[in-house]
């Protein structure tokens, strides 16, 4: 579906802009989460077929003709795991941020010059 | 100024990378040959109604093993960075309503989580989703009861045993020479039953336990680290 594809691109670019322009570490992590969601929407909309059902072949779907009735299962499977991995990596990033805050009591990346190159 | 210019160049560069996908996009009208094979194979070879589960657990089982490993490493990182400090600095009390309601709700949430991961091959859901639901139940417990302590030893035990059995099930397939992580090591059963689709419900339950215990570990570690919170309180 072209609409959701465009929505995914917009979210991805908003997230990227937030990651590049913000100074606050928490806001950078939020930007990552937004970009992550955008990528999920892009992948799912690439596998969407108009007017078809979810790929669960129970009594509601004609099983003999299932190939013509369901959407592509592969993008759904990829996104399913990507969401959980995204949650875990976001948690790890937040812990890094908390650890940095303990050192200098600041979330601004300007205060961490030793990370600059 | 130069920073802003670089940011704009970066965004435009990303846009140029993405533009071909958008321009060349046509709504597909048919499944790809691979997806067709997965949909047919899920019914005929695996007897699993949920095709997404078949792809995650069987056809791309090795990828799922890798992603569970990524989750494990992230949990390890969280536990390593936030060591469990015994910090008794909570003067906060939780209201009676929240405590009573949550102790009632937690059992329902746990049952829902277990239902979701055992029925992963029949209905929408599976190990990842069920694990997250279980972790959310523990989150409610931690938020409502400040003295609640989860034994990290038990969490680590559940997590490592389920990971080990997951790999062993895969290796049994190799020993029987039908392929790594092939669910046909158990009888396939009748299409649509709870105990069907071979080892798929077993593998997905193990993934559910592993994901649930890992995410609970992350939440419990973050919740027990109240040192920064106490600093905020003193400032007030």
The CATH architecture that domain A2-55+62-115 belongs to is: Orthogonal Bundle (1.10)
Predicted model pTM: 0.80
| Rounded CA separation B114/B206 (Å) | 11
Q: Does the beta carbon of B192 lie under 8 angstroms from any beta carbon of chain A?
A: yes
Lowest mean pLDDT, pick from A16-30, A84-98, B177-191:
B177-191
Shortest CA distance from A19: residue in chain B: B7
The low-confidence residues of chain B, meaning pLDDT below 50, are 227-228, 230-236
Identify the DSSP state of B188. -
In chain A, where the domains are located: 2-55+62-115
Distance separating alpha carbons of residues B93 and B112, to the nearest angstrom:
29
Question: Would residue B126 be called left, alpha or beta, if left means φ above 0 and alpha means ψ between -120 and 50 degrees?
Answer: left
A53 bridge partner residues: A70
Q: Which of A20, A55, A81 sits opposite B67 (nearest CB)?
A: A81
CB contact under 8 A, B70 and A88: yes
Place of tokens 């991805």: A12
Burial (CB < 10 A; 0-12, 13-18, 19+), residue B81, is middle
Q: How many domains does chain B have?
A: 1
Check B124 against A73: CB less than 8 A apart: no
The boundaries of the domain holding residue B33 are 2-235
**Do the Cβ atoms of A18 and A30 come closer than 8 Å?**
yes
Beta carbons of A98 and B51 less than 8 Å apart: no
Is B128's CB within 8 Å of A83's CB?
yes
Residue whose pair of structure tokens reads 């139940």 in the numeric block: B137
CA distance B103 to B110: 11
**Among A23, A12, A22, residue whose Cα is nearest residue A112:** A23
**Whether pLDDT at A30 is above 90:** yes
Average pLDDT, rounded, for chain A = 85
Nearest CA of chain B to the CA of A111: how many Å? 17
B222 CB neighbours in chain A (<8 A) are 91, 94-95
Q: Residues of A with CB below 8 A from B30's CB?
A: 49
User: Tens of pLDDT along A32-76?
Assistant: 999 999 999 998 888 888 777 778 877 777 777 777 778 888 888
Check if B215 contacts A (Cβ < 8 Å).
Answer: yes
Instruction: Determine what percent of chain A is predicted with pLDDT higher than 70.
Output: 97
Q: Which residues of A touch B56 (CB under 8 A)?
A: 77, 80-81
Does A100 have pLDDT greater than 70?
Answer: yes
Contact residues on chain B for A92, CB-CB shorter than 8 A: 74, 77-78
Looking at residue B225, its pLDDT comes to: 61
Query: Quick one: angle between helices B152-175 and B61-81, nearest 10?
Result: 160
**Contact assessment for residue A55 and residue B39, using Cβ atoms and an 8 Å cutoff:** yes
Least CB–CB distance from A81: residue in B40, B64, B123: B64
DSSP letter string, B35-87? HHHHHHHIIIII--SBHHHHIIIIITHHHHHHHHHHHHHHHHHHHHHS-----
- Do the beta carbons of residue B82 and residue A95 sit within 8 Å? yes
CB B89 within 8 A of CB A41: no
Please give, rounded to a whole number of angstroms, the shortest distance from the CA of A76 to a CA of chain B. 7
Q: What per-residue confidence (pLDDT) applies to B234?
A: 46
Please judge whether B215 and A87 are an interchain contact, meaning their C-beta atoms are less than 8 angstroms apart. yes
Q: What is the pLDDT of residue A27?
A: 92
CA distances from B234 to A42, A100, B28 (A): 46, 20, 60
- Neighboring chain A residues of B31 at a CB cutoff of 8 Å: 49, 67, 70, 72
Structure token digits, residue B68: 């569970």
Q: A11 — phi, psi (to 5°)?
A: -60, -40
CB contact (8 A) between residue A49 and residue B40: no
CB contact under 8 A, B78 and A95: yes
pLDDT digits (tens, 9 = 90+) for B147-192: 677 777 888 888 889 888 988 888 888 888 777 877 777 777 777 7
Distance CA A69, CA B38 (A): 14
What is the H or E stretch that residue B133 is in?
helix B127-144
């Amino acid at each position: 579906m072209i609409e959701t594809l465009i929505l995914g691109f917009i979210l991805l670019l908003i997230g990227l802009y937030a990651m590049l322009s913000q100074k606050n570490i928490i806001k950078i992590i939020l930007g990552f989460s937004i970009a992550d969601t955008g990528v999920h929407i892009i992948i799912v909309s690439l596998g969407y077929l108009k007017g078809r059902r979810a790929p669960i072949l129970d009594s509601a779907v004609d099983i003999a003709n299932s190939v013509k009735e369901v959407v592509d299962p592969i993008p759904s499977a990829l996104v399913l795991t990507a969401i959980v991995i995204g949650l875990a990596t976001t948690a790890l990033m937040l812990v890094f941020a908390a650890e940095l805050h303990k050192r200098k009591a600041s979330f601004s990346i300007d205060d961490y010059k030793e990370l600059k190159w | 100024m130069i920073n802003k210019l670089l940011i704009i160049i970066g965004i435009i560069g990303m846009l140029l990378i993405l533009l071909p996908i958008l321009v060349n996009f046509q709504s597909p009208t048919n499944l790809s040959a691979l997806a067709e094979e997965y949909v047919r194979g899920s019914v005929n070879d695996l007897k699993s109604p949920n095709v997404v589960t078949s792809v995650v657990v069987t056809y791309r089982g090795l990828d799922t093993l890798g992603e569970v490993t990524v989750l494990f490493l992230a949990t390890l990182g969280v536990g390593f960075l936030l060591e469990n400090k015994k910090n008794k600095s909570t003067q906060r009390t939780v209201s009676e309503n929240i405590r009573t309601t949550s102790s009632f709700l937690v059992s329902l949430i746990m049952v829902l989580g277990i239902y979701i991961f055992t029925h992963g091959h029949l209905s929408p859901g599976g190990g990842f989703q069920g694990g997250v639901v279980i972790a959310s139940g523990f989150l409610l417990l931690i938020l409502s009861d400040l003295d609640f302590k989860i034994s990290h030893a038990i969490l680590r035990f559940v997590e490592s045993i389920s990971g080990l059995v997951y790999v062993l099930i895969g290796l049994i397939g190799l020993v029987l020479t039908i392929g790594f992580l092939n669910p046909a090591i158990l009888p396939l059963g009748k299409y649509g039953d709870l105990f069907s689709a071979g080892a798929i419900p077993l593998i997905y339950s193990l993934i559910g336990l592993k994901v649930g215990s890992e995410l609970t570990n992350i939440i419990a570690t973050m919740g027990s680290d109240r040192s920064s919170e106490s600093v905020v309180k003193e400032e007030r």
